[in-house]
C-alpha cells in the first residue's frame, strides 16, 4: 500500500501553506499521509536524509518510490502521487 511521509515543522512557512492541501488529500482518501515533525523526529530525518522541508516521500511496500521538496499545489501533489 502506498503512503506518504510528509516531513514538516511548525516554524516552516512553506509547510504551513501546503499543510491544508496535504490534510485534504489525506482526509479524502487520496493517499495516507503520515505527518512527521522534523524537530521531534531527528532519527527519522537522518534515516531518510532529509535536507529541507517540506519533503514528501512516497513509500510503497516499505520502499521509497520518489520524493519532492518544497511547497506544492494540490495538482503537483496529485501528479507526484500518481506518478
Residue 15 annotated among the catalytic residues of the structure: yes
The span from the CA of 49 to the CA of 45, in Å, is 6
Tell me whether residue 45 is one of the annotated catalytic residues: no
Active-site entry in 5, 15, 38, 45 = 15
Contact 28, 81 (CB under 8 A): no
Catalytic residue among 12, 33, 45, 50: 12
Q: Pick from 37, 19, 38, 35: which is nearest to 77 by CA?
A: 19
User: What amino acid positions are annotated as catalytic residues?
Assistant: 12, 15
Amino acid at each position: 500500500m502506498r503512503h506518504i511521509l510528509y516531513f514538516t515543522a511548525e516554524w516552516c512557512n512553506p509547510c504551513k501553506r501546503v499543510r491544508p492541501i496535504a490534510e485534504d488529500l489525506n482526509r479524502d482518501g487520496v493517499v495516507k499521509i503520515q505527518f512527521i515533525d522534523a524537530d521531534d523526529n531527528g532519527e527519522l530525518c537522518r534515516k531518510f536524509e532529509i535536507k529541507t522541508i517540506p519533503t514528501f516521500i512516497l513509500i510503497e511496500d516499505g520502499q521509497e518510490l520518489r520524493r519532492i521538496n518544497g511547497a506544492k499545489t494540490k495538482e503537483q501533489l496529485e501528479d507526484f502521487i500518481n506518478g
